[in-house]
Chains A and B, each alone.
Chain A
Amino acid sequence: MKTNEEVREQEEARDVGTLVRVTINGREYRARRGATILEICQENGIPVPTLCAHDDLTSAGVCRICSVEIEGSWALQTACTMEVHDPGMVINTHSPRVRQARRAILELLLAEHCGDCYTCAASGTCELQEIADDYGIRELPYERREPRFEPDDTGPSIYRDMNKCIQCRRCIRTCDDIQSVGALGVFARGPEAHISTFADMPLGDVVCTNCGQCITHCPTGALREVDHTPEVWKALEDPDKHVVIQTAPAPRAAMGECFDLPPGTSVTGRMNTAMRDLGFDRIFDTNFTADLTIMEEGTELLLRLKAALVDGDTSMKLPQITSCSPGWIKYMEHFYPDMLDHLSTCKSPQQMFGALMKTYYAEEQGIDPESIVTVSLMPCTAKKFESDRPEMVDSGHKDVDYVLTTRELAQMIREAGIPLPILEETSFDEPFGDASGAGLIFGATGGVMEAALRTAYEIVTGREVPFDNLNIEPCRGLEGIKMASVKLEGVVEEWSFLEGAELKFAIAHGLANAQTVMEMLRDGELDDLHFIEIMACPGGCLGGGGQPMPVNDEIRRARATAIYSEDEDLPLRKSHENPHVAYVYEKFLTDGPCGHKSHDLLHTHYTPRGRELK
């Protein structure tokens, strides 16, 4: 018998990270100690079906489809949860027992599922469909269960049809663990168990940020964006409508994935051509208003700094926090309604563009704003909600009429039979033209901060930011929370009060990280910070809830690379050098950044919502 001491030593000897020998399907492999069987199989190209497992999420081991046989163990083990510690583990991923169990699980799931593959938005990308196909399930030994749920189509952003749900709980883990929102739960138990919201309320009525991460983590078609394509088609087909589309920076870095191009393929020019072919009258770049945002938000920051440092005005809250991400805004309104003063009053680039389109653009072009239909292409489902916010009518009209996600536009391009991968590249249209790389990098986490620094530093010091080729590396990468600072020295006279100041900032993406930052801020640990960038989605907009599936960090990194390399290739890298922005201030927003006119059109206010449900 072993003593306690010996047992402890044995435990400690199980060093994670060293290599151990395992046998899988009769072949030997070297595996990282502590890795799951699933990870080892994936690293070695051995297919194991999964449904509840997702690279972004901790394992739940609930679907059981990845069950494998381990020598010496009577029951099968789930590959997604079983870690390899002891050398010599003998694993079989396709023994008769494994196939029998997986087939039984699949049959149970398929008989539970409504099976409307031909009308399902997930057809072709559905993970359940794919596994059923691999297993050649041609008939079911059970009667299909009657649909139990009314689909929820009442929300502004997200459509839920639980008759397609297989209860993998990826949505719940995403909403809880990545986003810290907790809109979803599992209700009842046994065969009556189902995923729902508090009191089965529509998603639009509960504490939900509309971020759509549940959608991008759903293996089936149970969760989808609210479809705006019918309205957009209708507008395009109406000869009396002048239909303009603005395209956010992130979709162009991911759209290619919908056409079998590898992640990280930038399709900006080809996408512009495709949208023209679809019949949009003008193609604009949201990066233009991203540049404008930098002018407004940067000015706002400098004004807040001046108020705090020179005037001793404590009503102007620091740190200032970005406001581009509508999921993040709604999160703040629900969870930190008492801290809304920290948010920049700037509208998001989408809404700035909408407001300008039906005012400045309409005037410039002599078009009746009534006949303008503004569409935006966004990587985001929360943008649909944002465009519907009652205050977003400063142009005197609904500033943004329709929001298409990357997936929806891809659908339209496919319906029209437009061969996106082989199209010629075309540019954006005047009068907004091509924007700066600073606007482009808004699509990646840290991008707003980097863009703001490129401009603010230069305004304050008269010199370019002291980073190689303007690439501010501390702002980049997928680390959940990044903090850094830049010292301001040799400042120009107007900003002399900032001489020697250390501009401190933080960047967070994914709302769970945002929560950490907000709790630190509330606890007074971030009082010396000046500026915080927060994006609701992991990776920033490039990992948005409206982007193609699947998604994981590898894909997010590829999309980020596409964005950063395009930025590096652009002639224009700084928002304040965008001549079109200068022109708009000269001709239209004549009292300058944060002036009256821009306040009327480009700034907004927020609604404290709290968490209480009615």
Chain B
Amino acid sequence: MGDRVILGPYAPGTAVDAALDQRRSDVVMTVRESGLRGRGGAGFPTGTKWMLAAAAAGDEKYVICNADEGEPGTFKDRVLLQEYPDLVFDGMVTAGYAIGAKEGYVYLRAEYRYMLDALENVLEKMRSEGRLGNAIRGREDFDFDIHIHLGSGAYVCGEESALIESMEGRRGEPRIRPPFPVVAGYLNKPTVVNNVETFALVSRVMEHGADWFRGIGTEESAGLKLYSVSGDVQEPGVYELPMGITVNALLETVGGTDAAAVQIGGASGTMVTRREFDRKIAFEDIATGGSIIVFGPERNLLGVLENFLEFFAEESCGQCTPCRLGTMRLLEGVRDLQNGSVEPERIDALRNLADSMAISAKCGLGQSCNAPFGSILDAHLEGVAR
């Protein structure tokens, strides 16, 4: 896999030391200049998010690490948290310093509870070494501690406002936005919510500098990215590659050149077929949080779509009409398609429903159903696989 940087050696505390050498506002500036965009999938510029939170009124602010990695096909955060927890936590401490927060939380999905003790141990070690807690690195003006909040099994809590609702002791139902969490988040205070990988990359940016990061990837999608690769490939696993890499190049790296179709971005992502394999994996082309699922020519793509829609129907919070009922109706439709008894008008009606959900659902879960629905249906109708 060549020299890895994100998943390379890291001396704990390096990022925090680098950050503390700068003024708080300069840390925000560095992150902005690196061009780092959120690695959860939505790609909001991290520096801008921090800047808004730093500027928001109020003394009490929070940093939350979204470790609710639930998108089908993604497991990079698992690897980061198990193998590079210092990298992630140092990124959170850096954020705390930059925006003026005193407390951070890791929202760890219930499915990753087996990491809890190890993560708590790392935090304890950080505290004992003066890298966490009061007066970090001797700086009287900087207190910051991290707590772990365990999830209870709900994919939608990966949506940042749902995550906050859950942390506040409620059903994990997405909030009305605006206001966004940077203005009114956890306990209605300004809150930065970033993905595990984003915090890890913040640490690397602090370590190697904004220019280094900016110099990798594309103009709009800077830097390195972790890809979780699964499905019909020789070597499933986590890959560290630049943003903007083509699907073809990625398939070559992972041993998936027999692929008929690739689902990029997990269940809520898009399926591309062979003729589109020269497209780039980047925010400006095919955006992803890092889930790459590869399908060989023998796969039943409608079965894949059915599996995804079952997932959405089970994981929809049920709050808004389009998602609560639309996921169920799309699933019904795909099952009918599988049984082979569907008129073309029905297919049009289902596409219309998916499109309507995309523009009217309350959060990303319902809004993104049309991406797999449309693209997998197209791939199926194209006949690229069984």
Q: Which residues of A are interface residues toward B (Cβ below 8 A)?
A: 1-4, 7-8, 11, 59-65, 67, 74-76, 78, 81, 83, 97, 100-105, 108-109, 111-112, 141-142, 166-167, 186, 188-193
Contacts and interface: CB of A to CB of B under 8 A. Distances in A.
Contacts of B349: 141
A75 B55 contact: no
A96 B229 CA distance: 40
B176 A105 contact: no
13 contacts: A1-B32, A3-B25, A7-B52, A11-B56, A64-B362, A78-B176, A101-B356, A108-B329, A166-B321, A186-B319, A189-B316, A191-B318, A191-B324
Q: Top 5 nearest A-B pairs by Cβ distance?
A: A193-B318, A104-B356, A191-B328, A108-B325, A7-B55
A64 B318 contact: no
A104 B176 CA distance: 21
Contacts of B171: 186, 189
B359 A75 contact: yes
Contact of B321 (A2, A75, A109): A109
A104 B178 CA distance: 25
Interface in B23-81: 25, 29, 32, 51-52, 54-57
Given A189-B314, A193-B324, 18 more contacts: A1-B32, A8-B55, A59-B176, A62-B320, A62-B362, A64-B360, A64-B362, A100-B355, A101-B322, A104-B356, A105-B321, A105-B356, A186-B318, A189-B315, A189-B317, A190-B314, A190-B324, A191-B327
Interface string B351-368: 011011111111000010
A67 B321 contact: no
B332 interface: yes
A63 to B, nearest CB: 5
Interface in B146-199: 154, 156, 171, 176, 178
A103 B353 CA distance: 10
A62 B32 CA distance: 35
Interface string B301-334: 0000000000001111111111011111100100
B319 A62 contact: yes
Contacts of B52: 7
Contact of B361 (A1, A64, A83, A189): A64
Consensus secondary structure, chain B interface? helix
Q: Which has the most chain A C-beta neighbours within 10 Å: B25, B314, B321, B328?
A: B321
Contact of B320 (A2, A64, A97, A100): A64
A64 B361 CA distance: 7
A75 B57 contact: no
Nearest to B357: A104
Interface residues of B, number: 44
Nearest to B318: A193
Nearest to A185: B171
Contacts of A188: 318
B320 A109 contact: no
Nearest to A67: B360
Given A64-B322, A104-B356, A190 B176 contact: no
Contact of A65 (B321, B346, B357): B321
Contact of B359 (A3, A11, A97): A97
Q: Which has the most chain A C-beta neighbours within 10 Å: B51, B314, B329, B346?
A: B329
A63 B320 contact: yes
A176 to B, nearest CB: 12
B324 A100 contact: no
A303 to B, nearest CB: 46
B330 to A, nearest CB: 11
Nearest to B175: A61
Contacts of B321: 62-65, 105, 108-109, 166-167
Contacts of A2: 51
Contacts of A103: 356
Contact of B360 (A59, A60, A101, A167): A101
Q: Which has the most chain B C-beta neighbours within 10 Å: A7, A97, A191?
A: A191
B131 to A, nearest CB: 26
Contacts of B316: 189-191
A53 to B, nearest CB: 12
A4 B51 contact: yes
Q: Which has the most chain A C-beta neighbours within 10 Å: B328, B346, B357?
A: B328
A563 B54 CA distance: 54
Contacts of A61: 176, 320, 362
Contacts of A78: 176
A102 B321 CA distance: 10
A78 B154 CA distance: 25
A222 to B, nearest CB: 15
A231 to B, nearest CB: 38
Contact of A192 (B156, B318, B329): B318
Nearest to B329: A142
Contacts of B361: 64
Contacts of A167: 318, 321, 324
Nearest to B362: A61
A59 B175 CA distance: 11
A75 B320 contact: no
A190 B358 CA distance: 16
A76 B346 CA distance: 24
Contacts of B355: 100
A81 B176 CA distance: 7
Contacts of A63: 320-321
B91 to A, nearest CB: 21
B310 to A, nearest CB: 10
A104 B319 contact: no
Q: Which has the most chain A C-beta neighbours within 10 Å: B313, B359, B367?
A: B359
Contacts of A100: 352, 355-356
Contacts of B360: 64, 67, 75-76, 101-102, 104-105
A104 B352 contact: yes
A190 B314 CA distance: 6
